Structure 1
Amino acid sequence: MGGQGAGRVLGVNLRARRDEQGISLSELARRSGIAKGTLSQLESGSGNPTIETVFSLSNALGVPVSSLLSEPSSSDLVVVRSADLDVLSGDAVDLRMLRRLESPGSLFEVYDQRIRPGKVQHSTGHPGTEHHVILSGRLRITARDQTQELGPGDYLAFRANVPHEYEALDGEVASVLLLEYPPDVHPSTLDSLHLS
């Protein structure tokens, strides 16, 4: 499955967020470290966004990832089929955003997360707290100078504003990732993070 759906939604939302903040493509390129030509492609919906790209844009704009990837929906019953969603892939991780949950003062994003064996997924850090629930497989997470090995049914949470990494230990790991954003995420606090 390609990233066309995610790419199209990202393109529309990226342009909308940039317009809201009055930021030029050049300024967004400077803040995010992503080439202007690449940003232009992403906005036109023809790019193929990676996890790293989307998190860089999220940091540069000071908005949650779901503000870039979600199509608005409102219903009393919501069914989301993971198989129908586009995959956001990194070196070792495949993420599918299942849902954005918002209430006054809090915002969560719910992801179906798969970690492929054989590579380590590095993150330079980003706003929010990561909550991991392991469904199958064994996962090693290193964060905040600690390494934890997790198995099915285990839970781990950590503030994600520092470098962290994931590694599947024996075969693919399936997990649920909840990304909890602090209520005060906005560009001025993010500019100082110098995230790549």
Structure 2
Amino acid sequence: MEIPELGISIRTRRHAINKTLVELATETGLTAGFISQLERNLTSPSITSLVVIAKALGVSIGDLIQQPAQLQPDTYRGQRQPYSVASGRVKYERLSTVFPGSQVHSVKFTMPAGYKSEMVSHEGDEMIYVLSGRVGYTVGKDNYVLNVGDSLHFDANIPHSIESLPHENQVAEVIWVGTVSLFDGPQQPEPAVQKHLLRGTEFF
């Protein structure tokens, strides 16, 4: 589902707005080395890092990658379409829709053992719930080890990263919920489901 040559798209946009690597790194909180590797398609960003990069470039995340549409309020196991960012190792499944007034976005992501994301910070809250495997989270100076059934909720303005720790399952599955905008919107749901969307945002 990703747009080919993500790195080229980022570099082209950066040049178009006359930003240097150092300037983009400063605005995003990512390192210039990481962005340089990303622009040369030598690495792939986490989805939240991509949101931060898109914002600094003055574009939406939808201008950089394609994500599955989710017009319905409900999703079902086996029917969601997995996708990745620039052929990265993490597989995402979109769980949330977007409608006027919605405030949270959610994805399920699956990480292979040994995966570790770059450090990133962004506005809003972030919360994860571990479905399988063993997960390490660094938030500022604090380190957390989370097992199945464990959760973590924190201020995403604090630099943070996630990793999949060695485990017999070989993969870690996590439900991620946050207030940073992962998906473009609002999207208009089909009339048949309009009545199910409540004012504000609720999870049951």
| TM class, shorter-length | 0.5 to 0.7
Secondary structure, aligned partner of 1:126: coil
Structure 1 runs (4+) deviating above 6 angstroms are none
Who is 2:159 aligned against?
163
Q: 1:6 to 1:151 in 2, by over 3 A?
A: same
Q: Could you report, residue by residue, the CA deviation over 1:129-182 in whole angstroms, capped at 9, with x for unpaired residues?
A: 221010111212110322111111111111222321223232221111112238
Q: How does 1:1-196 map to 2 (within 5 A)?
A: 5-7=1-3, 26-27=16-17, 30=20, 32=24, 50-52=44-46, 54-61=50-57, 65=61, 69-70=66-67, 72-75=69-72, 78-79=75-76, 81=78, 84-88=81-85, 94-171=90-167, 172-181=171-180
Which residue is equivalent to 1:186? none
Q: What is the alpha-carbon distance in structure 1 between the residues aligned to residue 80 and residue 101 of structure 2?
A: 31
Aligned residues: 159
For normalisation by structure 1, the TM-score amounts to 0.58
Q: Which whole-Å CA distance do the structure 2 matches of 1:129 and 1:67 have between them?
A: 24
Unaligned runs of 5+ in 2: 26-34, 182-204
Identity, % of aligned positions: 19
Gaps of 5+ in 1: 15-22, 40-46, 183-196
The separation in 2 between residues aligned to 1:63 and 1:71, in whole angstroms, is: 18
Structure with the higher strand share, 1 or 2:
1
More helix by share: 1
Shift in Å, 1:117: 2.5
